[in-house]
């Protein structure tokens, strides 16, 4: 019996709830039964955007079709936008399937096998591309407006948690905020290098949300990130605004950290704030500790 190769895709959690992989595959299975086609191995890309054809399972599907081209009757999708939302990729993928002699079928859309059907599928893909880009533009405009009002619009950086709609956009992470603040103060004090401060934070238990030690590059990026001093900066959008949440580094601490990273910090800070949970690192200079 000829084989129909299913392909299914969702790009995010919201789609997974409204157009789940099992739902797509169930429609494809029932379609294959009506068409008297044997169901081949399913290729599923979960959490993959249709803006690119460089998807792991999509590429594996094409490789499978090259090897089993004599057995494959068609590739089947729930809807054409599960295959791709970019006209350029649609043309490239269609050319590959045509070369293999394998048609693409959509179980919820009907495209005639002539020039009218070809035009219909092209227009359907073009509309999906237009809709995708319009949605992206509206999302970007919404993010720009929120940033201008001081609201953080991405996943919370280490040391913070995302806030609720009605309150500050970021909240101090009770597990990590004090450690991150302490790290900034260690570097600002001049008594420790950035790398030594990172080692100290690891000793005190700082870990990423995944439970891993923080990399040197990530720590360096954190020390340079103005979000920790309560400023939102998106240079490519020309936006710089005061944040609506509490900073983890004071303006003076932030300034001294930048000087230290640039090798221009003159002498250690003489400030001292004792905290029983975070004693000094044994330096002759007093090392500031995070707030209780």
Report the C-alpha gap between 173 and 157 in whole angstroms.
10
pLDDT of residue 165: 85
Q: Which residue has the higher pLDDT, 288 or 113?
A: 113
What are the tens digits of pLDDT across the range 182-218?
999 999 999 899 999 999 999 999 999 999 999 999 9
Of all helices (H) and strands (E), which one includes residue 261?
A: helix 251-261
pLDDT of residue 287: 47
Q: Which residue has the higher pLDDT, 17 or 220?
A: 220
What are the tens digits of pLDDT across the range 134-190?
988 998 999 999 999 999 999 999 999 999 888 999 999 999 999 999 999 999 999
Report the C-alpha gap between 244 and 42 in whole angstroms.
47
pLDDT of residue 286: 44
What are the tens digits of pLDDT across the range 43-81?
999 876 656 677 899 999 999 999 999 999 999 999 999
Architecture label for domain 160-261: Alpha-Beta Complex (3.90)
**Contact 120/112 with Cβ under 8 angstroms?**
yes
- Which of 29, 30, 84, 31 is closest to 59 using CA atoms? 84
Report the C-alpha gap between 187 and 268 in whole angstroms.
9
pLDDT of residue 18: 58
pLDDT of residue 11: 81
Report the C-alpha gap between 124 and 37 in whole angstroms.
26
Beta strands in 11-159 (DSSP E): 38-39, 43-46, 72-77, 104-106
Question: Largest Cα–Cα distance in the chain?
Answer: 83
Q: Is 241 helix (H, G, I), strand (E, B) or coil?
A: strand
Residue 272 confidence class, pLDDT cut points 50, 70, 90: very low
CATH 3.20.80.10 assigned to domain 3-133? The reply is: no
Residue 20 confidence class, pLDDT cut points 50, 70, 90: confident
pLDDT of residue 51: 63
Report the C-alpha gap between 49 and 85 in whole angstroms.
9
**What's the chain's average pLDDT?**
88
DSSP codes of every residue in 182-236 = HHHHHHHHTSS-HHHHHHHHHHHT---TTSPPPPHHHHHHHHH-GGGGTEEEEGG
* Residue 274 reports pLDDT greater than 50: no
pLDDT of residue 166: 86
Kindly report the pTM of this predicted structure.
Answer: 0.61
CATH 3.40.50.1390 residue ranges of the chain are 3-133
Supply angle C-alpha 268, 274, 278, rounded to 5: 90
Rounded to the nearest 5°, which phi and psi values hold at 170? -130, 145
CATH 3.90.1750.20 residue ranges of the chain are 160-261
């Amino acid at each position: 019996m000829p084989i129909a190769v299913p392909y299914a895709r969702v790009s995010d959690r919201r789609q997974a709830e409204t157009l789940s992989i099992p739902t797509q595959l169930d429609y494809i299975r029932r379609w294959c039964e009506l068409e008297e086609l044997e169901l081949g191995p399913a290729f599923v890309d979960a959490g993959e955007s249709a803006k690119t054809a460089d998807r792991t399972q999509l590429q594996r599907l094409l490789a499978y079709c090259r090897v089993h081209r004599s057995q494959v009757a068609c590739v089947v999708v729930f809807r054409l936008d599960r295959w791709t939302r970019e006209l350029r990729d649609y043309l490239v993928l269609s050319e590959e399937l045509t070369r293999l002699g394998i048609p693409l079928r959509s179980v919820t859309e009907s495209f005639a096998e002539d020039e009218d059907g070809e035009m219909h599928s092209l227009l359907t893909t073009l509309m999906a591309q237009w809709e995708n880009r319009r949605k992206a533009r509206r999302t970007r405009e919404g993010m720009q407006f929120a940033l201008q009002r001081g609201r953080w619009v991405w996943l919370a950086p280490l040391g913070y948690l995302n806030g609720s709609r009605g309150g500050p956009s970021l909240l101090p992470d009770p597990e990590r905020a004090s450690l991150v603040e302490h790290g900034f103060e260690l570097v600002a004090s001049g008594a420790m290098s950035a790398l030594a401060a990172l080692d100290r934070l690891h000793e005190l238990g700082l870990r990423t949300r995944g439970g891993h030690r923080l990399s040197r590059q990530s720590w360096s990026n954190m020390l340079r990130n103005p979000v920790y001093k309560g400023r939102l900066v998106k240079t490519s959008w020309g936006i710089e605004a005061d944040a609506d949440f509490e900073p983890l580094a004071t303006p003076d601490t932030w300034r001294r950290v930048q000087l230290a990273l640039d090798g221009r910090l003159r002498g250690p800070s003489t400030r001292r704030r004792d905290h029983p949970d975070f004693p000094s690192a044994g330096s002759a200079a007093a090392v500031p500790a995070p707030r209780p």
